[in-house]
Amino acid sequence: MTTKIIHFKVNGKLETAEFGSDVSAADVKDLFRAAAEAEPHHILKMYNREGTVVKISPRLEANSRESYYRLEVVASDLQGVATASDLDNMEHRLHHLESRVLQDVGTTPDIMSELKSHVESFRRKLESVEHLSWIGLFKDDGDQHLAKSPPKPRTPQLNVQEERQQVRRKFLNISSLQVTEEVRELLKTPIFDNWQWEEAEMLVLLQVMFTNLDFLTAFHIELEVLQNFLFEVYCHYNNIPFHNFQHCFCVTQMMYGLIWLTDLRNKLGRTDLFIMLTSALCHDLDHPGYNNVYQINAQTDLALRYNDISPLENHHCAVAFGILAKPECNILKNLSSEQYKHIRGGMIKCILATDMAQHNEILNRFRSIQSAFDFSNKEHKEVLMKIMVKVSDISNEARPMAVAAPWLDCLLQEFFNQSDREKQKGLPVSPFMDRDKVSKPSSQTSFIRFVLLPLFSELSKLFPCLEQHILEPVGRALEYYSVMEKASRDEEATTKP
């Protein structure tokens, strides 16, 4: 058995952890949780020297003292604020100050009464959460560093329903945590790594996005209704290789990032931003894992219902409004009927625009208005919103290679599933989905050349800052896959007789 040593900094101190190759994932998590003195419901992440999040797992790469990781509690209760004992201290000092002022002045100044009432209300707030976070966590022997929650037994094949309820419980349990500024900032960039976050945590991050864009205040959304809505959205994504909840999260997060990078908050109205973010969130709801061509060729129920016209996108949108039809999930319920109509219309347009069959038409329209783009022109705005949703939808290659690469495998897996089924049913097979014909690099180079680059560069003309954030990474991905493509061609040439 080999052991590895991990150097990491936590709470300003450099520490080391040592574990063997046979250690369980739960034990590793518990080890670092104890080191960070974090509570079980807090969210813990490890950062490498580049500031990217790395997975806390037995496969964590060993490092040197100089290249230590940084362990952070990225979401916790009442962050950066005092504990009850600090508060005792504060109250004591305040009391002392008050009696001195009383001696000098004879009365308690207003500002002091105000300060006292702040401290008092803060204490109530602290006490109301503190009892929750300490229940059964630490052994009461003062040796809190060593106390660990017992490793969770691996749950055997939970049924989907039970698994979802677990995610819901966890989501609600951690939804009130304060997410660190660092994570909030990371969330606004295309380098955010979705693979390091669990589903319940992603739901919290989605809640952060809605909150940070002031949607709750602007549209009078109750937090509980938003949480129900987000959870229902999560439930309506299927467990398939690519078009799953992770994809939904990535697209929404990219949209969120684009909104900040392009400073759209100062260029479009709050309603337009809401339409874009919510459309991104809902744009693939209940995706069955087989594309429109399959739906139409196999004459599925969806193709019949929507007369072969964007069957999937029509379905995603219909499912979205089905969720919103439930009062407990209806984040639009406090809007006027005018506002509702406007948002519904906008979401329908944005979600239907994600059908790649519309790609050239939408891109050409955007090209034609680009040079004279006017943010106050209704039609211009509509095209831009569609483009933003489209860009977010196919933005994986704008992410760091380590994040993007697994997505390509997921996509190919879903394609292969489809072509296998098409072969089995005697339906036409798209060559780019055929496991016998497609090669990873060649499929990527043409997709990047003919779809991504033209689309991304057009958007970057309107927002030059995007060059660095999405255009350049896509260029690097093209270079990477071109080299790979050439290598595999050369190899083919030498192995062929």
Among the listed ranges 256-264, 355-363, 392-400, 414-422, the one in contact with Zn ion (CB under 5 A) is 392-400
Shorter beta-carbon distance to Zn ion: residue 168 or 316? 316
Shorter beta-carbon distance to Zn ion: residue 201 or 393? 393
Alpha-carbon torsion angle 462, 468, 470, 473, nearest 10: 150
Tell me how far, at minimum, the Cβ of 255 lies from Zn ion, in Å: 11
Tell me how far, at minimum, the Cβ of 354 lies from Zn ion, in Å: 6
Tell me how far, at minimum, the Cβ of 391 lies from Zn ion, in Å: 12
Tell me how far, at minimum, the Cβ of 248 lies from Zn ion, in Å: 8
Taking every pair of Cα atoms in the chain, the longest distance, rounded to a whole number of angstroms, is 103
Shorter beta-carbon distance to Zn ion: residue 168 or 287? 287
Contact 209, 179 (CB under 8 A): no
Residue 81 is given by DSSP the state: -
Closest CA to 47 of 82, 71, 80: 71
# chain residues binding Zn ion, by CB under 5 A? 2
Among the listed ranges 17-25, 93-101, 387-395, 415-423, the one in contact with Zn ion (CB under 5 A) is 387-395
Q: Indicate the angle between helix axes 337-352 and 378-393, nearest 10 degrees.
A: 50
Among the listed ranges 126-134, 306-314, 329-337, 391-399, the one in contact with Zn ion (CB under 5 A) is 391-399
Q: Which of 72, 232, 313, 393 binds Zn ion (CB under 5 A)?
A: 393
Distances (CA, A) of 130 to 75, 116, 125, 141, 343: 15, 21, 9, 19, 40
Closest CA to 201 of 51, 300, 380, 73: 73
Among the listed ranges 63-71, 129-137, 276-284, 296-304, the one in contact with Zn ion (CB under 5 A) is 276-284
Q: Render the burial of 9-23: b for 16+ CB within 10 Å, e for the rest.
A: ebeeeebebebeeeb
Cα 343 versus chain centre, distance: 23
Among the listed ranges 26-34, 53-61, 70-78, 277-285, the one in contact with Zn ion (CB under 5 A) is 277-285
Residue 336 is given by DSSP the state: -
Closest CA to 278 of 334, 219, 238: 219
Among the listed ranges 56-64, 152-160, 390-398, 417-425, the one in contact with Zn ion (CB under 5 A) is 390-398
Within 13-72, which residues bind Zn ion (CB under 5 A)? none
Tell me how far, at minimum, the Cβ of 94 lies from Zn ion, in Å: 55
Distances (CA, A) of 309 to 90, 303, 334: 66, 7, 33
Question: Can you tell me the distance from the alpha carbon of 301 to that of 298, in angstroms, rounded to the nearest whole number?
Answer: 9
Residue 397 in contact with Zn ion, rule: CB under 5 A:
no
Closest CA to 46 of 58, 38, 54: 54
Contact 191, 399 (CB under 8 A): yes
Tell me how far, at minimum, the Cβ of 167 lies from Zn ion, in Å: 21
Provide the annotated active-site residues. Answer: 243
**Per-residue contact string for residues 283-322; x = within reach of Zn ion by CB under 5 A:** -x--------------------------------------
Place of tokens 């950062």: 47
Tell me how far, at minimum, the Cβ of 286 lies from Zn ion, in Å: 12
**Per-residue contact string for residues 251-270; x = within reach of Zn ion by CB under 5 A:** --------------------
Question: Can you tell me the distance from the alpha carbon of 146 to that of 31, in angstroms, rounded to the nearest whole number?
Answer: 9
Tell me how far, at minimum, the Cβ of 362 lies from Zn ion, in Å: 15
Q: What angle do CA 360, 459, 339 make, to 5 degrees?
A: 85
Q: Render the burial of 219-254: b for 16+ CB within 10 Å, e for the rest.
A: bebeeebbbbbbbbbbbbbeebbbbbbbbbbbbbbb
Phi, psi values for residue 444, rounded to 5°: -75, -45
Q: Which residues bind Zn ion (CB under 5 A)?
A: 284, 393
